[in-house]
Structure 1
Amino acid sequence: MNENHRLGARIREMRQSQDMSLSELADEIGKTSSYLSQVERGLAEPSITALREIAKALGVPIFYFLVDDRDKNAVIRKDERKKISYPSSDSQVELISPDLNRQMELVEIRLQPGEATVENPLPHRGEECTLVMEGRMYIEIGEKDFELEPGDSIYYVASVPHKIVNVGEEELVLISAITPPNF
């Protein structure tokens, strides 16, 4: 199957999964049903502009149609995770998401008692949600601070300087979802 056929099949699959007819999508993007049918069958290659319109109408990012199927459903085995590091920290950080070329990054962070993610609170762009899996976590976000236990989570705007510290007697294990990716 050539690239046009793969692209067309992905568009058709997404359209059908949303119970949208060919003519409904064509109307939404200001094209004819005939044109869209040719795109879906791999007989016509949409321009980048047309592909953006299709992606917008279907509510998916344009890259959804451009990345290989294998990349969309990437399985990352625990022993194959990429290790990353915070500046000036000995914490263990593993990338749970496939890579940093996505719209979101998921990391597992392990801190020993008394250890912090950074020496001084640091900001980064985007938003973050952190879930405590094991141990006790102290987090400073701007002028506020919170203490969390296993099962607790916190969602915050990451552009506010923040810092995480293990205030427990055992290893702190947490999962953080960060968008957009920052490492």
Structure 2
Amino acid sequence: MKRFRLARRLSLRQLGEMTGTSASFLSQLERGRSGASASTLIHIAVALGIRVADLFEDADARTHIVLKRSQRPALPENRGCRKTLVSQRPLHEFEVYIGEFDIGGSTGELPYTHGGNHEMLVVLRGIVEVNLGADSHVLEEGDSIEYAPSTPHKTTNIGNGRAEVMWIIAPATSAAAELDRYVAWKPPINGGKA
């Protein structure tokens, strides 16, 4: 629990306010000096954006994790953009996503914002336009940009072929309910060729 709390930059007091418990109780729970009811564990998991089962995972047992491309969880395609999750659940200090864009595809009609303190976008293939508030940046393969996720942002493929980007967000902010929207990945039509 402490690892998830610190990754989200929450104090014991803040987590206590979110869960209706005290900082003292949570401190004892983190040190293994107290137990918690199922209801309290559910409240803690929801506040941390994880599953209750994640609270019982042995972090030391997961030191080397391989994720094959074909196993990446994905969101349903939207506006010519497929977004897959590269980070393994439970998310810790950061989260990583891959976005694949058809020609003209985008992250949506309007710019969006989300939690986190820092986001980086790296262009892996193609040419994209990244709108950040009133600013617009054209990025090509190998280029990157860093920004605050609280800035309204939108990514659009403006090239003549498919584009692929990687988003890295820190700290991890996606809640379990958001991550549960990701389903089995489906390979792109024609094997991803432009």
TM interval, shorter chain, is 0.5 to 0.7
> In the alignment, is the contact (CA less than 8 A) between 1:132 and 1:149 conserved in 2?
yes
Partner of 2:7: none
What are the residue-to-residue correspondences of 1:110-125 with 2, within 5 Å?
110-125=100-115
Q: Secondary structure at the match of 2:70?
A: helix
What are the residue-to-residue correspondences of 1:140-179 with 2, within 5 Å?
140-179=131-170
Percent identity for Structure 1 against Structure 2 = 25
> In the alignment, is the contact (CA less than 8 A) between 1:99 and 1:105 conserved in 2?
no
> In the alignment, is the contact (CA less than 8 A) between 1:100 and 1:181 conserved in 2?
no
- After TM superposition, what 4+ stretches of structure 1 lie above 6 angstroms from structure 2? none
What are the residue-to-residue correspondences of 1:58-77 with 2, within 5 Å?
67-77=58-68
Partner of 1:91: 81
TM-score by length of 1: 0.60
For 1:175, the aligned partner's letter is M
Deviations 1:13-72 (A, max 9, x none): xxxxxxxxxxxxxxxxxxxxxxxxxxxxxxxxxx54558xxxxxxxxxxx9x96343434
Q: Secondary structure at the match of 1:79?
A: helix
**Residue 106 (1) aligns with residue 108 (2):** no
Deviations 1:76-116 (A, max 9, x none): 11111111247x53411111111253231111100011111
CA distance in 2, matches of 1:157, 1:100: 23
CA distance in 2, matches of 1:81, 1:49: 32
CA distance in 2, matches of 1:100, 1:91: 24
> In the alignment, is the contact (CA less than 8 A) between 1:103 and 1:181 conserved in 2?
no
Which of these residues, 160, 173, 176, is aligned with residue 181 of structure 1?
A: 173
Partner of 1:134: 125
CA distance in 2, matches of 1:107, 1:68: 22
For 1:181, the aligned partner's letter is T
CA distance in 1, matches of 2:73, 2:30: 35
Structure ID, larger Rg? 1
> In the alignment, is the contact (CA less than 8 A) between 2:80 and 2:104 conserved in 1?
no
